């Protein structure tokens, strides 16, 4: 089949601007072949090249004594002592999940798991952060059901526990849902595998499942806005097979023990193209591939299709040729393809052969290092206008409005579809705050959380960025974990709009400041731009996942409130209602500024919780819904009534930051008060647990009635 003629329309269909195509002509000194155009399109799209975000990502803090490997590899790596490391990352699969919810979400989980075990780490935990349109939008129910089924279907079959996450609804996501998938794995700190190729003339080996036409052009599609041609993009969504991936992981783990692996890279976005180019570029080598040797599951595949296919469950590695027989035997044992498809070369070339024809011959380093880098125009987000008065609300009516919303109702329907107990080391399952997984065979545990409040980021990107990091820090501290590091998933609209780029720049400023102040460097991450449909962008959603260490599980804060427990509030309350959950759910308003984040106070309060965890039975941070929602959730989890002394709306529902709610016995409360005085932090009694009612000020309702609302509202909203 002859290659199509390179036209302006074809160039545009590949997501390349005219000036970018001119740069390609300058680099190679001729018109590209169709396959070469596809390769440049894959390597230079936003999803792979980060061309709009590189400038700002460089300013993020990525180093620390706990960091073994920061951004630039398949995943980040942090030291947890005793010669062990946690490998983790979060990535988006937004566009595919909107087009094909089940497979989009499933392959998002599969891709992030490969990022982890590619580095030699066995996955021990997964999370997901999901953002959908309004619950009553005609497409939302289909998306929620499909995405949740896809996440569970892949993770459960693969055999990794899903231990946490978040689900939100907002009309801004009506045409563009967000599916952010996180995975973490355990490895020996001295046995991490990297992707940089080394050695000339070394075999390049294809591993795993066969290549098909699914996902061709997926990375380019993920770097474009949606419009009314969305249904035509369905073929660019990959199809996943978790059972093949499970075998691939076991084969890779066994292979790594043989010493045969020089470098290894999973085939994710842009498939064979991106994996080969990244391996060569990091190792300052060229790569030659012979596509006739690539295992194919469909007939008559072209070079273009093979190079851009995003078929799942595939890896690429550089092999020690002396151990080829041992390596091949491992993959034959696991009934997976093992094919030598090329070699490393000294020249800086990316050479693609198919049917004895040269389909591509490009300077390899230019594909990566010469990718466009833009300093896009941006404008700061204007300061929020002063907020109009918020009428007072009956406290129980306000609470009912929150817990009957799918945003704040219990998410049991979601996480009960996920296996959170597989592998037998999950200490704390979803729905109770940060997830906790024991490090098998030890007394140590690792805690995981995922957080962002998009309405804060839209109102004030700097404070919203800070708040996402701070809330993740609080969620880890609330279970007694020492926060170690973070990964981010930066979901924004069209960066070519200065106001959207301004949101991105502001959020990164806030994230960077918070990560420095709270000693939680960013070790991996993902940028997802162009999350727009017909010109309508999503809320800026820079998701932060954080990982924390519990040195001994006996020190974890895992209890629940009991009858007679005192309720203590750590931190200052001013009653900030701007951009609050109460404002949105009761008054249908989104005005005012985001709450201010005092990073010094955040650090001091986290230190106080961890230092005094022996005195604390149960603990939660205060976030959406403020004191009222936090107190109710503690009571609901424990099955015991609660009463709060406060009755005014700002105190009950304000969302001031840096605060924790503590449940403990009276004598421990006295000891905590003394410790707070010595530490110079604000701690006060705000209520007590007991009885069967929830009483806020002069208003009350039976806990059983509120629990029924809390536990049924999410299911009702999306069915």
Per-residue three-class SS string for 648-697: CHHHHHCCCCCCEEEEECHHHHHHHHHHHHHHCCCEEEEEEECCCEEEEC
Backbone phi, psi, residue 480, to 5°: 90, 15
The per-residue pLDDT for 235 is: 56
Residue tagged active-site, from 14, 93, 565, 576: 93
The per-residue pLDDT for 231 is: 46
Residue carrying the six token digits 């295992």? 295
Q: What is the pLDDT confidence band of residue 63, given thresholds at 50, 70 and 90? A: very high
CA–CA separation, 212 and 100 (whole Å): 18
Annotated active-site residue 137? The verdict is: no
**pLDDT tens string 190-220:** 999 999 999 999 999 999 999 998 877 654 5
CATH homologous superfamily, domain 559-719: PurM-like C-terminal domain (3.90.650.10)
The per-residue pLDDT for 233 is: 46
Residue tagged active-site, from 14, 47, 170, 565: 47
- Which residues have C-beta within 8 Å of that of residue 709, sequence separation ≥ 6? 400, 403, 404, 409
pLDDT at 227 exceeding the cut of 80: no
The per-residue pLDDT for 429 is: 83
pLDDT at 530 exceeding the cut of 60: yes
Q: What is the pLDDT confidence band of residue 484, given thresholds at 50, 70 and 90? A: very high
CA–CA separation, 114 and 247 (whole Å): 12
pLDDT at 119 exceeding the cut of 90: yes
Mean pLDDT computed over every residue of the chain: 94
**pLDDT tens string 674-701:** 999 999 999 999 999 999 999 998 899 9
The per-residue pLDDT for 230 is: 42
CA–CA separation, 340 and 291 (whole Å): 10
The per-residue pLDDT for 234 is: 43
pLDDT at 45 exceeding the cut of 90: no
* Mean pLDDT, residues 161-173 taken together: 97
The per-residue pLDDT for 432 is: 84
**pLDDT tens string 594-605:** 999 999 999 999
pLDDT at 130 exceeding the cut of 60: yes
* Mean pLDDT, residues 323-342 taken together: 97
* Mean pLDDT, residues 519-536 taken together: 95
Q: What is the pLDDT confidence band of residue 478, given thresholds at 50, 70 and 90? A: very high
The per-residue pLDDT for 225 is: 58
CA dihedral sign, ordered 651, 653, 654, 660: positive
The per-residue pLDDT for 5 is: 87
Q: What is the pLDDT confidence band of residue 236, given thresholds at 50, 70 and 90? A: low
CA–CA separation, 352 and 273 (whole Å): 10
pLDDT at 144 exceeding the cut of 70: yes
pLDDT at 314 exceeding the cut of 50: yes
Percent of the chain with pLDDT over 90: 89
Here the tokens at position 450 are: 């995922």
Q: What is the CA radius of gyration of the chain?
A: 26
pLDDT at 183 exceeding the cut of 90: yes
Encode burial over 82-112: b for 16+ CB neighbours within 10 A, e otherwise. eebbbbbbbbbbbbbbbbbbbbbbbbbbbbb
Report yes or no: 489 and 457 within 8 Å, Cβ to Cβ.
no
Annotated active-site residue 47? The verdict is: yes
Report yes or no: 210 and 165 within 8 Å, Cβ to Cβ.
no
* Mean pLDDT, residues 17-36 taken together: 94
Q: What is the pLDDT confidence band of residue 240, given thresholds at 50, 70 and 90? A: confident
pLDDT at 188 exceeding the cut of 80: yes
Range in 183-197, 221-235, 306-320, 631-645 the model is least confident about: 221-235
DSSP code string of 45-111? SHHHH-TTTHHHHTTS----TTEEE-BTBSSEEEEEETTEEEEEEEEE-HHHHHHSHHHHHHHHHHH
pLDDT at 286 exceeding the cut of 80: yes
Note the pTM of the prediction, 2 decimals: 0.95
Percent of the chain with pLDDT over 70: 97
């Amino acid at each position: 089949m002859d290659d199509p003629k390179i036209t302006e329309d074809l160039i545009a269909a590949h997501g390349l601007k005219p000036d970018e195509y001119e740069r390609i002509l300058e680099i190679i000194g001729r018109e590209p072949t169709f396959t070469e155009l596809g390769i440049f399109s894959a390597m230079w799209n936003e999803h792979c090249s980060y061309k709009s975000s590189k400038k700002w990502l460089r300013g993020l803090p990525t180093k620390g004594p706990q960091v073994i490997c920061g951004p630039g590899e398949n995943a980040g790596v942090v030291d947890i002592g005793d010669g062990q490391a946690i490998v983790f990352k979060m990535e988006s699969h937004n566009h595919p999940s909107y087009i094909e919810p089940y497979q989009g979400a499933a392959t998002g989980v599969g891709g992030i798991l490969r990022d982890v075990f590619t580095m030699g780490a066995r996955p021990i935990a997964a999370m997901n952060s999901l953002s959908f349109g309004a619950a009553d939008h005609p497409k939302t129910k289909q998306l929620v059901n499909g995405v949740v089924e896809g996440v569970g279907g892949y993770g459960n079959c693969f055999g990794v526990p899903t231990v946490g996450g978040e689900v939100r609804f907002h009309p801004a996501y009506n045409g563009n849902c967000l599916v952010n998938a996180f995975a973490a794995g355990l490895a020996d700190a001295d046995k991490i595998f990297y992707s940089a190729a080394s050695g000339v003339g070394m075999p390049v080996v294809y591993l795993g499942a066969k290549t098909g036409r699914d996902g061709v052009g997926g990375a380019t599609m993920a770097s474009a806005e949606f419009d009314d041609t969305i249904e035509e993009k369905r073929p660019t969504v990959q199809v996943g097979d978790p059972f093949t991936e499970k075998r691939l992981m076991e084969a890779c783990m066994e292979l790594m023990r043989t010493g045969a692996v020089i470098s290894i890279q999973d085939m994710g976005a842009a498939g064979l193209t991106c994996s080969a180019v990244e391996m060569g570029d990091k190792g300052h080598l060229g790569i030659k591939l012979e596509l006739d040797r690539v295992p194919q599951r469909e007939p008559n595949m072209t070079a273009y299709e093979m190079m851009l296919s995003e078929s799942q469950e595939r890896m690429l590695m550089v092999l020690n040729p002396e151990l080829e027989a041992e390596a091949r035997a491992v993959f034959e044992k696991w009934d997976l393809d093992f094919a030598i498809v090329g070699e490393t070369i000294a020249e800086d070339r990316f050479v693609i052969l198919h049917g004895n024809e040269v389909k591509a011959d490009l300077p390899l380093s230019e594909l990566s290092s010469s990718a466009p880098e833009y300093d896009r125009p941006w404008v700061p987000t204007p300061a929020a206008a002063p907020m109009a008065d918020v009428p007072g609300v009956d406290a129980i009516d306000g609470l009912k409005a929150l817990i009957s919303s799918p945003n704040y109702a219990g998410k049991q329907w979601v996480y009960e579809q996920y296996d959170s107990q597989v592998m037998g080391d999950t200490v704390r399952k979803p729905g109770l705050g940060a997830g906790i997984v024991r490090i098998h065979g030890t007394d140590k545990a690792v805690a995981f959380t995922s957080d962002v409040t998009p309405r804060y980021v839209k109102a004030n990107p700097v404070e919203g960025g800070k708040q996402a990091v701070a809330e993740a820090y609080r969620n880890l501290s609330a279970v007694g974990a020492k926060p170690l590091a973070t990964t981010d998933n930066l979901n924004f609209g069209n960066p070519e709009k200065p106001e959207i780029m301004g949101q991105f720049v502001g959020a990164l400023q806030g994230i960077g400041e918070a990560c420095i102040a709270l000693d939680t460097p960013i070790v991996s991450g993902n940028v997802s731009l162009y999350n727009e449909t017909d010109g309508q962008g999503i809320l800026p959603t820079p998701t932060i996942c954080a990982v924390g260490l519990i040195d001994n599980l006996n020190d974890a804060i895992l209890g629940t409130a009991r009858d007679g427990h005192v309720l203590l509030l750590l931190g200052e309350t001013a009653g900030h209602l701007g951009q609050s959950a109460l404002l949105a759910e009761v008054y249908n308003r989104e005005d005012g500024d985001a709450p201010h984040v005092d990073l010094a106070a955040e650090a001091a309060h986290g230190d106080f919780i961890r230092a005094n965890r022996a005195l604390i039975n149960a603990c939660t941070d205060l976030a959406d819904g403020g004191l009222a929602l936090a107190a109710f959730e503690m009571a609901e989890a424990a099955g015991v009534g609660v009463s709060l002394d406060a009755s005014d709306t700002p105190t009950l529902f304000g969302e001031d930051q840096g605060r924790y709610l503590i449940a403990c016995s009276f004598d421990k409360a006295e000891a905590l008060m003394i410790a707070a005085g010595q530490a110079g932090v604000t701690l006060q009694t705000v209520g007590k647990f007991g009885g069967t009612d929830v009483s806020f000020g002069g208003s009350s309702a039976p806990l059983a009635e509120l629990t029924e609302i809390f536990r049924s509202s999410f299911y009702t909203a999306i069915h």
